[in-house]
């Protein structure tokens, strides 16, 4: 049937009518997959180089610090008290950092551009998508990327002989959990940003977090109050969680680390959805 000959009876428009008869919420139309499909289609044509470079960054750190610096440091004490190589000590930490970086890049710079320049969300929210569909779709894309990085990095660890227990495979879903926390929160924070200068503040927070969250040496080197500060930061929980998993040592602290991220995700999704609603639907 041509667009030029439509008449409004139910038979001719069964497909579009069916789409209108779905159940809708005020914020959500159960259609996250459409946002995800759009992201994949766009990535296919443009973002390849950025994605690949994001994978190599932690690998290069692992080789330079783990192998190079590791030759001087020798072996260190792992989470269970056992002796492990310095490379095996920092590898899970770098994996946590890569999960954070991938998620934050996707949910901040990418989102900032789509929000302020491409007007992408404005277009999406003029369809039957709700803000929750958009937020969840964008966060899912960040997670997909975090998942790919984590899988690749875990494989590199395996090749370098840094994996000693089957538990280590759980580092992949744990990395996705870490990425989820950062992506959901990052997108919410980005919604407050108006200029590129403000976006630089994100790097200003991320870099110290990367350097000081017990990534390259244990937390015990710090005085007590600095330890508390770092333990309040999300990356430390990610580093500790992955480090425990990498050697298969689990303690009550493991549950605290996981719980920290679950709370972060809940807050982040609520914040992001609320902000999208405020920005585009008021």
Partner 1 sequence: MVRVSELVSKESPVSSPSDAAPQYVITAENLTKRYGDVTAVDGISFRVPAGEAFGLLGPNGAGKSTTMKMIGGVSQRTSGSLSIMGLDPEQHGPEVRAHLGVVPQQDNLDEELKVRDNLLVYGRYFGLPMSYLRRKADELLEFAQLTDKANAKVDALSGGMKRRLTIARSLINEPRILLLDEPTTGLDPQARHILWDRLFRLKEQGVTLILTTHYMDEAEQLCDRLIVVDKGKIMAEGSPASLIRDYSTREVLELRFGSDRNASVGAELEGIGERLETLPDRVLIYAHDGEAALEQVTARGLRPVTSLVRRSSLEDVFLRLTGRSLVD
Residue ranges in contact with partner 1 by CB under 8 A: 2-10, 13, 15-17, 19-20, 22, 24-31, 33-35, 37-38, 41-42, 45-46, 118-120, 122-130, 280-282
Q: Considering beta carbons, is residue 6 or 208 the nearer one to partner 1?
A: 6
Q: Considering beta carbons, is residue 110 or 244 the nearer one to partner 1?
A: 110
Residue 67: count other Cβ atoms within 10 Å of its Cβ.
13
Q: Considering beta carbons, is residue 17 or 83 the nearer one to partner 1?
A: 17
Minimum CB separation of residue 110 from partner 1 in Å reads 11
Q: Considering beta carbons, is residue 22 or 173 the nearer one to partner 1?
A: 22
Minimum CB separation of residue 25 from partner 1 in Å reads 7
Minimum CB separation of residue 148 from partner 1 in Å reads 19
Q: Considering beta carbons, is residue 37 or 255 the nearer one to partner 1?
A: 37
Minimum CB separation of residue 19 from partner 1 in Å reads 5
Minimum CB separation of residue 191 from partner 1 in Å reads 16
């Amino acid at each position: 049937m041509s667009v030029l000959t439509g008449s409004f009876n139910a038979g001719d428009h069964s497909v579009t009518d069916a789409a209108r008869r779905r159940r809708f919420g005020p914020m959500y139309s159960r259609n996250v997959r459409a946002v995800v499909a759009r992201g994949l289609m766009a990535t296919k044509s443009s973002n390849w180089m950025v994605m690949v470079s994001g994978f190599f960054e932690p690998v290069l750190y692992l080789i330079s610090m783990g192998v190079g610096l590791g030759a001087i440091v020798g072996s260190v004490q792992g989470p269970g008290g056992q002796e492990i190589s310095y490379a095996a000590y920092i590898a899970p930490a770098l994996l946590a950092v890569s999960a954070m970086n991938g998620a934050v890049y996707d949910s901040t710079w990418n989102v900032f551009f789509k929000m302020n320049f491409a007007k992408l969300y404005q277009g999406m929210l003029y369809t039957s998508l709700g803000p929750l569909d958009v937020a969840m779709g964008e966060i899912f894309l960040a997670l997909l990327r975090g998942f790919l990085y984590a899988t690749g990095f875990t494989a590199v660890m395996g090749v370098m002989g840094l994996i000693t227990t089957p538990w280590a495979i759980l580092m992949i879903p744990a990395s996705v959990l870490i990425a989820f926390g950062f992506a959901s929160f990052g997108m919410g924070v980005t919604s407050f940003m108006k200029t590129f200068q403000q976006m630089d503040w994100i790097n200003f927070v991320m870099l110290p977090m990367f350097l000081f969250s017990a990534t390259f040496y244990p937390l015990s080197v710090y005085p007590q109050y600095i330890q508390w500060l770092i333990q309040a930061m999300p990356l430390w929980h990610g580093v500790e969680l992955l480090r425990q998993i990498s050697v298969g040592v689990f303690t009550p602290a493991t549950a605290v680390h996981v719980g920290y991220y679950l709370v972060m995700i809940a807050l982040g999704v609520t914040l992001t959805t609320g902000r999208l609603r405020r920005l585009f639907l008021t």
